[in-house]
């Protein structure tokens, strides 16, 4: 098997996710996120303003550290916990935000 025949790397975050946290501090994060391999796209809810995760790159530096390219092109590191169809991260202000994998995502 050559390098080009190898399966692409996978990510436990690949797929579509819906935010389940309703606290005001989580309002700046997208209502829905679609993660592909190395990139993501955030989607706002109809009543949501600016979101800091709009589209960009991401990487898991280790099982508990997520780095995201934000709307301002800054790379921001978050503590993250991924358990099956749910993930949760904590931002620098201490806001804990949880997402659940969507059906078929």
Domain-located, residue 3 = no
Whether 61 is covered by a domain: the verdict is yes
Note the pLDDT tens digit of each residue in 67-88.
Answer: 999 999 999 999 999 999 999 9
Cβ neighbourhood burial of 96 (10 Å; 0-12, 13-18, 19+)? middle
Tens digits of per-residue pLDDT, 6-60? 444 578 999 999 999 999 999 999 999 999 999 999 999 999 999 999 999 999 9
Q: CATH number of the domain that 50 lies in?
A: 2.40.128.490
Domain limits for position 93: 10-101
Domain count, the chain: 1
Residue 5 within a domain: no
Please give the structure tokens belonging to residue 82.
């991924």
Three-state DSSP class for residue 93: coil
Q: Which residue has the tokens 């659940």?
A: 100
| ∠ CA 70-24-98, rounded to 5° | 65
In a domain, 1, yes or no: no
CA 66: distance to chain centroid? 8
With respect to residue 66, please indicate whether it lies within any of the assigned structural domains.
Answer: yes
pTM over 0.85: yes
């Amino acid at each position: 098997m050559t390098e080009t025949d190898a399966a692409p790397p996978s990510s436990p975050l690949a797929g579509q996710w819906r935010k389940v946290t309703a606290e005001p501090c989580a309002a700046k994060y997208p209502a829905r996120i679609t993660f592909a391999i190395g990139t993501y796209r955030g989607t706002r809810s109809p009543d949501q303003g600016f979101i800091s995760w709009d589209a960009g790159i991401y990487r898991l530096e280790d099982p508990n550290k997520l780095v995201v390219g934000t709307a301002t092109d800054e790379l921001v590191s978050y503590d993250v916990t991924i358990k099956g169809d749910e993930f949760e991260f904590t931002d620098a202000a201490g806001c804990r935000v949880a997402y659940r994998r969507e059906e078929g995502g």
